[in-house]
Amino acid sequence: MLSWRLRDIPWSDIADLIRLRNQTGSLLLLFPTLWALILAAEGTPPLSLGLIFIAGTFVMRSAGVTINDLWDREIDRRVERTRNRPLAARRLSVQTGLVIFGLLIVTAAALVLMLNPLTIALAPVALFLVVVYPLAKRVLSMPQVVLGMAFGWGAIMAWSAVRNEIGWPAVGILIATICWAIGYDTTYALQDKDDDVRAGVRSTAILFGSWVWLAVLLFLIAMVLSLALVGIATGLAFPFYFTLAGAVIWFGYQVWQIKRGVSRAQAFALFKQHVWIGALILLGIWTGLLLK
């Protein structure tokens, strides 16, 4: 009976719901957390903390996309790129989506309870941001600010898990992540700009119009400056600033492409490149600590 039930579960649709085959979002969520974790631990965080935060990142990103699809299932049916998502296409029921979301949150809670009391106290903020982000797209012209807060809150929790405090470097990483998220998610939103206008969804791609390239540039510059201040405050050595310079060059290339005009496929490709930028900065932080 149990084996029949397991076979009967629509595993492929569940995998699509949590974006199992596309982990770009998980990595973009993970990198700011790892930046803070490695920086707080002076380059050598405990293995247990690393595993908890890596697993927690995957679980919370899965929860985030699940609640996003629950809120947006009617809108998704009117957007070409998202109309075939499991909830929008009715391959999964709303009840199933809620059960999956609940199981993911219970799993995340179990991971959080392995951390110190301060980090446990910070965790509900992460859940709140995950739940309200999809609603922010309906009322805010810059919902990416909420997305950036959700993606950057892991840095606050990672720092507190290591040092049992909320340090200014972690706040700097949070600010940098907000700016970064506005930059890369605006690029991502270029894919759906026309559909979003028709569906009544707000985004920075719509807000900034023909000046979107300049907005992306300014927010990415703000990200780099925030990280530079974090590096100065923590005494990181010169390799860190070399990687920031490399990121600036990469950002300049992306903005040049956006200014020329990009197709949906090109916008998505530019968005995915930010995973490598996150990895580059992580390398910079680690080598900056090593040679400190």
In a domain, 166, yes or no: yes
In a domain, 47, yes or no: yes
Domain of 169 in residue numbering reads as 11-287
C-alpha to C-alpha distance for 148 and 37, rounded to whole angstroms: 18
What's the confidence (pLDDT) of residue 4?
45
- Whether 49 contacts 81, CB under 8 Å: no
Closest Cα to residue 195, out of 264, 105, 274?
Answer: 264
- Tens digits of residue pLDDT in 244-264: 999 999 999 999 999 999 999
What is the chain's pLDDT, residue by residue, as a tens digit (292 residues)? 444 465 667 889 999 999 999 999 999 999 999 999 999 999 999 999 999 999 999 999 999 999 999 998 888 888 778 889 999 999 999 999 999 999 999 999 999 999 999 999 999 999 999 999 988 888 888 889 999 999 999 999 999 999 999 999 999 999 999 999 999 999 998 987 777 677 667 788 888 888 999 999 999 999 999 999 999 999 999 999 999 999 999 999 999 999 999 999 999 999 999 999 999 999 999 999 999 7
What's the confidence (pLDDT) of residue 3?
46
Number of domains in the chain: 1
Burial of 74 per CB tally in 10 Å (0-12, 13-18, 19+): exposed
- Residue 21 three-state SS: coil
Q: Three-class SS string for 165-199?
A: CCCHHHHHHHHHHHHHHHHHHHHHHHHHHHHHHHH
In a domain, 1, yes or no: no
In a domain, 220, yes or no: yes
In a domain, 5, yes or no: no
Q: Residue 116 gets which letter from DSSP?
A: -
CATH number of residue 95's parent domain: 1.10.357.140
In a domain, 3, yes or no: no
In a domain, 211, yes or no: yes
What's the confidence (pLDDT) of residue 205?
84
